A and B are shown apart, each in its own frame.
Chain A
Amino acid sequence: MRKKIIEMRGIVKSYYLGTPNELEILHGIDLDVYEGEFLSIVGASGSGKSTLMNILGALDRPTQGHFFLDQLPMENVKDEGLSKIRNEKIGFVFQTFNLIPRSSALNNVALPMLYGGKSRSVRTKRAKELLELVDMTARSHHRPNELSGGQKQRVAIARAMANDPAIILADEPTGALDTHTGRMVMDIFHRLHQEQGKTIILITHNTELALETERTIRLKDGSIVENKINEKIQLEGSYESA
Chain B
Amino acid sequence: MNLLENIRLALEGLRANKMRALLTMLGIIIGIASVMAISTLGSAMTGSVSKTMDKIGGKNISVYLTPKNYDSQATLQPEDYITQDELNSFKETYADQIRAISLSSSLGSGKLNSGYVHKDVSVTGANPDYRLVNNINLVQGRFISDRDIQSSRNVIIIDTTLRNNLVGVNGDPTGMDITVETKNTNETYTIIGVYEKVVIDNPLFNMGDDTRIECFIPITTAKALNSQSTAIPGYENFTIMASANTDTTAFAQITKQYFIKNLGALSDYTIEAQSMEAMVSEATSMLSTLSLGISVIAGISLLVGGIGVMNIMLVSVTERTKEIGIRKALGARNSAIRSQFIIEAIIICLIGGIIGVGLGSVLGVLGSSLLKFPTTPPFTPMIIALCFSMGIGVFFGYYPANKAAKLDPIDALRYE
Contact = CB atoms under 8 A, between A and B. Distances in A.
B294 interface: no
Interface centre among B15, B16, B332, B334 (most CB of A within 10 A): B332
Contacts of A87: 330-332
A225 B98 CA distance: 110
Given A98-B326, A100-B326, A102-B16, A115 B332 contact: yes
B12 A80 contact: no
Contact of B334 (A83, A88, A94, A114): A83
B336 interface: yes
B111 interface: no
A120 to B, nearest CB: 8
A19 B330 CA distance: 33
Contact of A59 (B13, B323, B410): B410
B323 to A, nearest CB: 6
Nearest to A57: B329
A112 B13 contact: no
B153 interface: no
B256 interface: no
Given A59-B409, A59-B410, A79 B326 contact: no
Interface centre among A57, A100, A163 (most CB of B within 10 A): A100
Interface string A59-103: 110000000000000000001100110111000101000111111
A209 to B, nearest CB: 22
Nearest to A103: B12
B410 A60 contact: yes
Q: For this complex, into which size category does the number of interface residues on chain B fall?
A: 20 to 34
Given A98-B322, A102-B12, A54 B332 contact: no
Contact of A84 (B1, B326, B331): B331
Nearest to A99: B326
A117 B322 contact: no
A54 B409 CA distance: 10
Contacts of B1: 114-115, 117
Contacts of A98: 322, 325-326, 329, 413
Secondary structure at the B interface, as helix, strand, loop or mixed, is helix
Interface in B286-332: 322-323, 325-332
A190 interface: no
B23 to A, nearest CB: 19
Given A60-B410, A102-B16, A114-B1, A83 B331 contact: yes
B323 A100 contact: yes
A154 interface: no
B42 to A, nearest CB: 43
Interface centre among B323, B330, B335 (most CB of A within 10 A): B330
B334 A112 contact: no
Contacts of A59: 328-329, 409-410, 413
A127 interface: no
Contacts of A101: 323
Contacts of B410: 54, 59-60
A102 B340 CA distance: 15
Given A60-B410, A103-B12, A117-B1, A111 B334 contact: no
B315 to A, nearest CB: 16
Contact of B327 (A94, A115, A120): A115
B330 A111 contact: yes
Contact of B328 (A83, A88, A94, A163): A83
B329 A86 contact: yes
A98 B323 CA distance: 8
23 contacts: A59-B413, A60-B410, A79-B334, A80-B333, A80-B334, A83-B331, A83-B333, A86-B331, A92-B329, A94-B413, A98-B325, A100-B327, A102-B12, A103-B12, A111-B327, A112-B331, A115-B330, A115-B331, A115-B332, A115-B336, A117-B1, A159-B330, A163-B331
Interface of A: 54, 57, 59-60, 79-80, 83-84, 86-88, 92, 94, 98-103, 111-112, 114-117, 120, 159, 163
Q: Across chains A and B, which 7 residue pairs bring their CB atoms closest together, nearest first?
A: A87-B331, A83-B333, A115-B331, A112-B330, A86-B331, A98-B326, A102-B16
